[in-house]
Every structure is written in structure tokens, then in C-alpha cells.
Amino acid sequence: MRKAYVAGSIVVMLVFFLVPYLLLENTRGFELLLFWSLLTAAWIAVSAIYLWRSTP
């Protein structure tokens, strides 16, 4: 289950960056990169806490 969660998290992080740049037009810039980078960092932190607490 842990490997599946990590694999799913990697896919989600890729989607965080691919969707805005590939599907949304006129959404370029540093602010967008900063937003998605912070969101990805938050996702990594939450995932790390979840995996740390769920490990027996």
C-alpha cells in the first residue's frame, strides 16, 4: 500500500505542473510556478507525515 501511495503521489505532483502549462492558455509566469511549487511542497510534507504516522 505504501508503494502505491508513493507512486500516486508522484503522479499527482506531475499533474500539478502539467495541467496549468499544457491545458490552460495564457497562464505563464513566475507566480504560477511559485504557486504550484508551494502546493507540491505542501503535498510532499503532508504525504511524509501520513507515511511516517502510518508506519507501525
CA distances from 41 to 12, 26, 29, 46 (A): 12, 24, 19, 9
Q: 500539478: which residue's cell?
A: 16
Q: What is the DSSP letter of 24?
A: S
pLDDT tens sequence across 12-56: 878 877 877 777 767 677 777 788 888 888 888 888 888 888 776
Asked if 40 and 16 touch (Cβ cutoff 8 Å), the reply is yes
Query: For the whole model, what pTM was predicted?
Result: 0.60
